[in-house]
Amino acid sequence: MKHLLRQYISVCLLIFGPVIVTFAQNRLTGVVRDKVTNESLIGATVTLKGTKVGAITDLDGKWDLRFAEEFPVTVVITYLGYKEVSFQAKTNNESFSIRLEPEEKAIAEVKVIGERVAQKIKESPVTIERLGIQEIKQTAAVGFYEGLSSLKGVDMTSASLGFKIINTRGFNSTSPVRTLQIIDGVDNQAPGLNFSLGNFVGASELDVERVDIVVGANSATYGPNAFNGVIDIQTKDPYKYQGVDLMIKGAERNLIDVSGRVAFVADKIETDSIRFGLFRGLARFNNRYLKDRLAFKVNASYFQAYDWTAEDYGTTASSFNPRDVSPGWDGVNIYGESQFPTLTRKFTPFELGITQNDVLPSYFRTETIEGEQVPVLYVYRTGYREIDLADYNTYSLKLQGLLSYKLPRNIGTLSYQYNYGNGTTIYQGDNRYSVKDIKFLQQRVELKGERFFLRAYETREDAGKSYDLVFTAYQLLEGQKAFGDWMADFQDGFRMARRDMGISDIDAAIRYARTYADSPGNPARNNGAYLVPGSPEFKEAFNRITSNPSFQGGGTRFADQSFMRHIQGEYDFDMRGTSACLPEKFKIGGNYRLFNPNSSGTIFSDTLIDRNNLNSGFVDIKTWEFGVFATLEKALSQRTKVIASLRFDDHVNFRPFYTPALSLIVNTRPTGTLRTTFTTAYRNPTLQDQFLFYNIGVARLRGNLNGFNLILPEDYFGNDGYLANSQDNYRPIFVEAVRPERVRTIEIGYKDIAFKNIYVDASAYYSVYNDFLGFIVGFIDNSKQGQRDVEAFPTRIAANAKTLVTTFGSSIGLNYYFPKYFNIGANYTYSELLKRDNNDPLIPFFNTPRHKANFNFGGRDIRNTGFNIAYKIVSGFDYFGSPQFTGPVPTYGLVDVQVNRTFPKFGVTAKVGASNVLNNLHIEAYGAPLIGRLIYASVNYQFSKAKQ
C-alpha cells in the first residue's frame, strides 16, 4: 500500500508540479441550459474574451469564473452543437442564467470528469458514461437499457430477454454484487438476492431522462456496494416534463412493449366564471397553495415476449463422456444426469460382466486402479432439458406513482413515490432459475432542498412462484428413482441384455441397459419410471415439486419475502466567498440500512431453527449497516482543484472501516481536463455470503460467518486422498469466516475537444484487491476428537482470497461531429486480470473480455429524420459461473441499425430497427441461450414538453 501511494504521489507531482497557484479577486457565476429542453448542459466552455481565463460547466450546468481583469468584461459561452453566446458583465459577483440554442450538430451527453451524479451530489471525480434523452432516441438497440452496452467500459450480459446485467471493471457476473444500481437515488437491488434485476422491474423507458454509469470504485460517496461501478438512472421531473406520452413497440418473438406516462403541475384556475361557493373556495385554495407547487406523475409499462431458449446440449467442462454416446453425457442445458459433475458412477468391465474377449467401445476410459491400468465406463442417467422445465413466456409489469409538493419559502420539495413491479423471466446465477410472478415493491419519501436532502425508502420482494430449473430436474429424477437405484438397474439391465437378450455388442447392451434403468426396473426395488416431458404424470410431478417450498421435502420453489429499509441524508455547504483558506464546497452525509431476509429456509441457513424439522419454526435474520462521509473541494488555482472524500462504515457482523478518495484535476485548456484519482472501496459480504444454505443439485452452497474445516476435491478424490486411503490421509484446511474485501485504484483520465469537431475521452486504471470475496469448493469436515465425520456431498463456501488480486484496464473514445447532421464514433476498452495465485484455493472469476470495441455512424434532425448504425465486437473469454455453467464464451460481433422520423405536427416519432441484424447467434454467458436478431418497430406519441 505504501509503495502504491508513493507511486501515486510521484505521478501527481510530475503532473501538477509546474502549476502555479494564483488568487483572483473577481468572480462571476452562472448556469447554462438548453433553450428548448431546459436541460443543464455539462461541459460547456465559459471564457473571458481576450484572455486565457476559462471554466467548464459542471453536472448542473453551473460555472464559476475567478479572474483579476477589471470590469467590464465579455463572457463567451460555447458548446459543440449549440450557437455561441457572448454578453458583458459589469460588476463583481454577478450570476447569469444562459440558454443556448441548438445548432444542427450535437455532442453526446458524456461527462468524463464528474462528481457524484443524479442527486446533484458532487463528490470525488470519477469516470462517467452517459446516455441522455437524445442518445436513447438514437440508440439502435431495442431498448434504452440494452443501449448502455455501447458505452465504453461497460459489459452487458444477457441471460434472457427480460434479464440483462451490467458490470464494469471486470469480474463480470450474472449476479452483479460489485455494481450498484439506483433509480432516483433508490437502490434497486432485490433484498434477498443483494443485486438488481437489471431493468426487469426498473424504470419505464418513457420516463428515463438520463442514465449515468459511474465506472470504478466509488464507495467514498455511494457506500460499500459501489465497488466496481454505479448505474444511476434519473427519471423525468414532473415539474419539467409535463403532459401525456404513449409508446407502443413490437418486435420478433411476439414482443410487445406498451408504456404510458402522465405528468402535470397544478395550474391557475380562473374564478370569474365559477358561481358555486364551494368550488370558488377550492379554486382560491388551489391558486394560493397548489399552483406551480403540486405535481404528480404516473407511469405504466407492460412488456411480454417469448424468451430466447437455452438449448446447448454440448458437454460441460466436467463431463467424462463426449456428446451423443450411449452411456450418456453431462450436457450444459440438460440437468440431473449426475449427482454432481465430479462424481458420477463409473463401472469396471468386471462389474458389468465384460470379458477380455469383448471389444470395448472407444468411450471407455483408462484409469489407474490399485496400481493397474483398467478400462472404466462412466454412465450418466437420462436428464431433463431446460426447455422441458422452463416457462419462456416472459412478461414484466411496472407501475409508478409520484406526488410532489414545493414547500413555501423555498424550503424544498416534499415527495412520495410508490413503485410496483411484477413479472416472469429466466435468471442465471449458480443455476438457471424461472423467476415466475416475482413482485417488487418500493416506497420512497424525500425532502429535497437546494443544498440538502433527506430520503427514506423501503424495498420488499416476493419471489412468487419462482423455482430452480436445475434442482427441479434432480427432484423429478430422485422422486421417481434414486440415483443409486438407477445405476443398479443399469447394471442389471446390461447383464440382462448380455445374458437373456443375447446382445453381444457392448454399445447395444449399454443402450438396452439405459432403457431398462429408465423403466420401473427391478421390481424388488419398487422404483418408478422416467417421466416423459409433457405427459400427465410429468406435469403432475412437476407442478407438485415447483409449488413446494421445502427443499428437504422434495420441492424447489423459493419462498423469499425479504425486505430492506434505508434512510439517508446529505447537506452541501457552499463556502465560496468566505476565507481563501477554506474549501469552496464542503459536504457531509450519512445513511443507515436494515436488511430482514425471510426465505422460510429455502435460501438462508438460519431462518430455520432446526433444518431437519420444519415444524420447529423460524428465526428472524436481521443485519444493519451505517455510514457517514465528508467531502471537500478546493481550488488551488484557476486551472487546478483538489477533491477529497472520507467515509466511515460499520456493519453488525464485521469490523468498521474507512474509505478515502483523493483527486486532482487540471483544466489544461478551456476544453481539456486532465485528472488523476486515488480511490479505495470496501464491499461487505452479502447476505448470501453470510447466511446462504442452498442445494443446487450438483453441490450445496453455504454462507460463512464462522469458518469451516474443508477437504479440497484433490485431497478427497486423489490417488492418495481421503477416500483412497480409508480416511488415513487426512488433510483438511480451515477456511476463515468471510470479511469485507477492499480495492485500491489509481486512475488517470483526459477529455478534450480537438479540432473543434473531435471529442476525445481516455482513461486508464490499475487496481489492487485485498481479501477478494469468492468461493471454495470442497467437503466439509465436521470431525470431533476421536471421530471422522466428513460430508460425502460437495459444498461451495463463501471465502476470501489469501493473496492479492490485481487488474489493469484502459479505454478511449473518439467522436467526430460533422458540421451539420452526422457523427462518427468509436470506443475501445481493454481489461486484464494481471495477477492471481494459482496455489490459492480461491481463484477470482474475471469473466471479462480482454478486448471490446464499439463503432457507430449516425445522424439526427435531418428534416425530422435520424438514423444510427452500430457495430460491436467482443473478444472471447472463459466464463466461470458454477460447476454446471463454466466454459468458453466465443468472440462475437453484432450490427444494430435504426431509422427514426418525427412528425412534429402530430407529436409522433416512429422508429424501425434491428438489434443483431445479421442474426449472429451467440452466447454472452456460458449456459445462457443463443441470442439472435430482433427486428422491432415503435411509435411514440409525445404529447408533452419540457417546462420552460
Q: What is the rounded distance in angstroms from the CA atom of residue 888 to the CA atom of residue 70?
A: 66
Element (H, E) at 298: strand 294-306
CA distances from 477 to 356, 380, 484, 531, 534 (A): 34, 12, 11, 8, 15
Q: What is the mean pLDDT of residues 638-650?
A: 91
Query: What digits encode the pLDDT tens for the residues 673-725?
Result: 899 999 988 999 999 899 888 877 667 888 999 899 998 887 887 767 777 67
Predicted local distance difference test score (pLDDT) of residue 584 = 84
Query: What digits encode the pLDDT tens for the residues 202-258?
Result: 899 999 999 988 888 887 778 877 888 889 999 999 998 899 999 999 999 999 999
885 near 906, Cβ under 8 Å? no
505 Cβ neighbours under 8 A, 6+ residues apart: none
Query: What digits encode the pLDDT tens for the residues 282-334?
Result: 888 888 889 999 999 999 999 999 999 999 999 988 889 999 999 999 999 99
Crossing angle for the helix pair 536-546 and 469-480, to the nearest 10 degrees: 120
Predicted local distance difference test score (pLDDT) of residue 854 = 96
Residue 618: pLDDT band (50, 70, 90) is: low
pLDDT for 12 beyond 50: no
Q: How many Cβ atoms from other residues are within 10 Å of residue 199's Cβ?
A: 29
579 Cβ neighbours under 8 A, 6+ residues apart: none
Q: What is the mean pLDDT of residues 196-202?
A: 82
673 near 211, Cβ under 8 Å? no
More confident residue, 36 or 69: 69
304 Cβ neighbours under 8 A, 6+ residues apart: 254, 255, 256, 393, 394, 395, 396
Give me 88's grid cell. Answer: 458583458
pLDDT for 362 beyond 70: yes
Predicted local distance difference test score (pLDDT) of residue 329 = 93
More confident residue, 39 or 465: 465
642-652: buried (b, 16+ CB within 10 Å) or exposed (e) per residue? bbbbbbebebe
State percent of the chain over pLDDT 90: 47
Q: What is the rounded distance in angstroms from the CA atom of residue 925 to the CA atom of residue 877?
A: 10
Average pLDDT, the chain: 85
Predicted local distance difference test score (pLDDT) of residue 17 = 40
Predicted local distance difference test score (pLDDT) of residue 116 = 27
Query: To the nearest 5 percent, what fractions of the chain are helix, strand and coil?
Result: 15, 45, 40
For residue 228, the SS3 value is coil
Question: Which of the residue ranges 125-129, 477-481, 644-648, 918-922 would you say has the lowest mean pLDDT?
Answer: 125-129
pLDDT for 412 beyond 80: yes
Question: Which of the residue ranges 124-128, 548-552, 922-926 would you say has the lowest mean pLDDT?
Answer: 124-128
Highest mean pLDDT among 362-376, 411-425, 839-853: 411-425
Predicted local distance difference test score (pLDDT) of residue 728 = 67
pLDDT for 62 beyond 90: no
Identify which of 795, 602, 773, 177 has the alpha carbon closest to the alpha carbon of residue 429. 177
Predicted local distance difference test score (pLDDT) of residue 944 = 63
CA distances from 736 to 460, 806, 836 (A): 32, 22, 19
**Count of alpha carbons within 13 angstroms of residue 246, beta-carbon side:** 6
Identify which of 916, 838, 929 has the alpha carbon closest to the alpha carbon of residue 889. 929
758 near 824, Cβ under 8 Å? no
More confident residue, 757 or 111: 757
More confident residue, 628 or 159: 628
Q: What is the mean pLDDT of residues 182-202?
A: 84
Query: What digits encode the pLDDT tens for the residues 72-87?
Result: 999 999 887 788 899 9
For 177, phi then psi, to 5°, come to -75, -15
pLDDT for 126 beyond 70: no
Query: What digits encode the pLDDT tens for the residues 147-168?
Result: 999 999 899 988 888 888 888 8
543 Cβ neighbours under 8 A, 6+ residues apart: none
- Quickly list H helices, 711-823: 713-717
Q: What is the rounded distance in angstroms from the CA atom of residue 771 to the CA atom of residue 552?
A: 34
For 307, phi then psi, to 5°, come to -70, 165
Q: What is the rounded distance in angstroms from the CA atom of residue 650 to the CA atom of residue 624?
A: 9
Q: How many Cβ atoms from other residues are within 10 Å of residue 591's Cβ?
A: 19
pLDDT for 22 beyond 60: no
Residue 19: pLDDT band (50, 70, 90) is: very low
Give strand ranges (E) for 206-278: 208-215, 229-235, 241-251, 255-265
Element (H, E) at 16: helix 2-16
For 543, phi then psi, to 5°, come to -65, -40
For residue 598, the SS3 value is coil
Predicted local distance difference test score (pLDDT) of residue 5 = 47
Q: What is the rounded distance in angstroms from the CA atom of residue 777 to the CA atom of residue 755?
A: 56
Predicted local distance difference test score (pLDDT) of residue 615 = 61
Q: What is the rounded distance in angstroms from the CA atom of residue 293 to the CA atom of residue 32?
A: 24
Predicted local distance difference test score (pLDDT) of residue 579 = 73
Residue 20: pLDDT band (50, 70, 90) is: very low
Give me 242's grid cell. Answer: 409535463
Query: What digits encode the pLDDT tens for the residues 522-578?
Result: 888 888 899 999 999 999 999 999 998 876 678 889 888 899 999 999 999 988 777
pLDDT for 505 beyond 50: yes
Q: What is the mean pLDDT of residues 929-946?
A: 87
- Quickly list H helices, 232-290: 277-285
pTM of the model: 0.83
More confident residue, 614 or 443: 443
Predicted local distance difference test score (pLDDT) of residue 341 = 47
Predicted local distance difference test score (pLDDT) of residue 518 = 95
**Cross-strand pairs, 25:** none
State percent of the chain over pLDDT 70: 90
Predicted local distance difference test score (pLDDT) of residue 701 = 85
803 near 837, Cβ under 8 Å? yes
Q: Which amino acid is at 190?
A: A
Query: What digits encode the pLDDT tens for the residues 790-833?
Result: 887 888 899 999 889 999 999 999 988 876 788 899 999 999 99
5 near 64, Cβ under 8 Å? no
Question: Which of the residue ranges 303-317, 333-347, 355-369 would you say has the lowest mean pLDDT?
Answer: 333-347
Q: How many residues are recorded in the chain?
A: 948
Residue 59: pLDDT band (50, 70, 90) is: low
Question: CA angle at residue 429 from 427 to 431, to 5 degrees?
Answer: 90
Identify which of 774, 767, 765, 762 has the alpha carbon closest to the alpha carbon of residue 689. 774
593 near 565, Cβ under 8 Å? yes
Predicted local distance difference test score (pLDDT) of residue 340 = 58
User: Max CA-CA distance within the chain?
Assistant: 110
CA distances from 905 to 115, 610, 943 (A): 40, 68, 11
The three state secondary structure string of 380-416 is CCCCEEHHHCCCCEEEEEEEEEEEEEECHHHCCEEEE
How would DSSP label each residue in 478-524? HHHS-HHHHHHHHHHHHHHHHHTS----HHHHHHHHHHHHHSS--GG
Question: CA angle at residue 680 from 676 to 682, to 5 degrees?
Answer: 160
pLDDT for 53 beyond 50: yes
Give me 436's grid cell. Answer: 415466475
CA distances from 241 to 38, 780, 838 (A): 10, 58, 55
- Quickly list H helices, 426-482: 469-480
Classify residue 25 as exposed, middle or buried by CB count within 10 Å of its CB (0-12, 13-18, 19+).
Answer: exposed
